[in-house]
Amino acid sequence: MNIIPLFVAVPLGAAFILVLMGKREIASDVIVNLATLCLAILSLVLIPFLKNNNGVFVYAMGMWFPPKGINLVLDGLSLFMLIVVNTVAFFISLYSIGYMKRFTAKSRFYSLFMLMLAGMNGVVLTGDFFNLFVFLEIASIASYALVAFGVEAEELEAAFKYMVMSSIASVLILFSVGLLYGLTGSLNMADVAGIIQGENNLLLSFSLILFLVGFGLKAAIIPFHAWLPDAHPSAPAPISAMLSGVLIKALGVYTIIRIFFNVYGMTTQLSWTLMILGVISMISGGLLAIRQEDFKRLLAYSSISQIGYILVGLGCGNYWGLIGALFHLLNHATFKSLLFLNSGAVEYSTGTRKLEEMGGLSKVMPVTGATSTIGSLSISGIPPFNGFWSKLFIIFGLVQAGHFIITALTVLVSVLTLAYYLKVQRFAFFGRLREKWAQIKEVPKVMCVSMIVLAIICIGTGILFYPLMKTILEPAVAVLQEGTKYSILILGG
């Protein structure tokens, strides 16, 4: 099935063609949107394909079969991530047509964007540790450049900080891959999982900790979060949406899930580690967000808090916890990218990110105002929006596992989330319109379309959560639940 390598090949090819496009803006708009649309459709086409293949498909690159060659693995979890990444990427590229007009060198921007997408699709698909590292670096290096895309002092500083911290993460990950290679003599994830099963070795635990810190840095879990509140607000809005909505999940959360659940196998200590890190991120992210004056910075802290939810659900480890975590991952990708696009629209029209300077903007920007209200209600977990269901599932899982204190904290943080999003709504979109904003207009139509469709997805996944659960979430949860049986599935099939 040759669709699978296309998820890497198409964005990579598009990236290099776009560099050749130079100043031809319309042509590069068309190329990018065609490429991302193709990928989004292809990822949906793979749903029935995977069902016919009993939930797992191994693609050997160049006919070198695992464990010797590099393989791409498509299973429920990879497919779920592919759908999230490529759908969000399509709406963001649509939004970029309007938003990136103000920047010079649009085709360079698109080229880096496509490289980042290629890296993320690769990370999600690969079944090989070193290949994972390579794709991780492609996506990260493209994102450093994208954060610095505005080349003002603030952006360069944020990009440099991000680069330093993320490079440390990459070094730790590479070191850990090296350790694993030394211990097992293999780089194939499934093969490594088979070899280390049941072994209890100090170096093995050390490599696990290195992975936790490395991917924790990429996922911006507190205490590894320091780069995120600078990097995400400084990037151009579509990139903020991409970073917060997708990148930290594909590079951080997905890899943690894959390596902890399928390679090492979850243990009680590991689930407690995830759960405690999750609770810390959830609470401190929320508390830090409530104090922010900058729209995008508030959203960035809120991302940390929501990643905490996902980790709590993963650490909880039963069916409801896992399905809640993955559903929250999907939902966070949609509403957080929507909110970042809203913040970009506000910045596009008013030129400011300070919440106190705004006010009453929904009178002059009705689409942005309405979609941001939907996004805010979704992220705060108001029924029937999608955030409500995922948080509810996580709470089910926690109650079922008997973690009542964490359940109470989860509910409290949800209230906190509502509080700071009400602050956003109150300061930016409701209230009295200032005189200096009376003349501004709504953003261009393409940007509106992208925001409206994302808002519809927020409502749609909330109402149609049951079919969604059956088609894409349950296969993904099944991958997590089968744990280290992953090894036999990949190498046997």
Partner 1 sequence: MNPLKEPQRGMTVIVKTIAKFVVPPIILFGIYIVLHGHLTPGGGFAGGVIVGSAFILLTLAFGKEVAFQKLKRSTASVLESVGALIFLSLALLGIAAGGWFFLNFLPKGHPLRILSAGFIPLANIGIGIKVGAGIFAVFLTLIVFRVSAKK
Residues in the site for partner 1, rule: CB under 8 A?
2, 5, 9, 12-13, 16-17, 19-20, 59-63, 151, 153
Compare residues 151 and 408 and give the one whose CB is closer to partner 1. Answer: 151
Report yes or no: 88 and 333 within 8 Å, Cβ to Cβ. yes
Q: Give the chain's radius of gyration (CA, Å).
A: 21
Give me the least distance between CB of 148 and partner 1, in Å please.
11
The least CB distance from residue 132 to partner 1, in Å, is 17
**Shortest CB 243 distance to partner 1, Å:** 23
Comparing CB distances to partner 1, the nearer of 9 and 419 is 9
Considering the complex, state which of residue 66 and residue 317 has its C-beta at the smaller distance from partner 1.
66
Which residue's CB is nearer to partner 1, number 151 or number 412?
151
Q: What distance in Å separates the CA atoms of residue 11 and residue 344, rounded to the nearest whole number? A: 24
Closest to partner 1 by CB, 13 or 444: 13
Least CB distance to partner 1 at residue 64 (A)? 8
How far, in Å, CA of 132 to CA of 122, rounded?
7
Q: Which is nearer to partner 1, 115 or 355 (CB)?
A: 115
Closest approach of partner 1 to the CB of residue 169, in Å: 24
Residue 19 C-beta: closest distance to partner 1, Å? 5
- CB of 341 closer than 8 Å to CB of 95: yes
- Which residue number, 5 or 431, has a Cβ lying nearer to partner 1? 5
Residue with Cβ nearer partner 1 (92 or 125): 125
Q: Can you say whether residue 359 is alpha, beta or left, with left for phi > 0 and alpha for psi between -120 and 50 degrees?
A: left
* Residue placing its CB nearer to partner 1 in the complex, 19 or 488: 19
- Taking Cα atoms as reference points, which of 135, 115, 116 lies closest to residue 127? 135
Select 187 or 329, whichever has its Cβ closest to partner 1: 187
| Nearest distance, CB of residue 111 and partner 1, angstroms | 9
Shortest Cβ distance from residue 62 to partner 1 (Å)?
A: 4
Nearer to partner 1, 17 or 370 (CB): 17
Whole-number minimum distance, CB 156 to partner 1, in Å?
Answer: 8
Distance CA 77, CA 325 (A): 12
Angle in degrees, 0-180, between the axes of helices 202-219 and 153-184, rounded to the nearest 10: 160
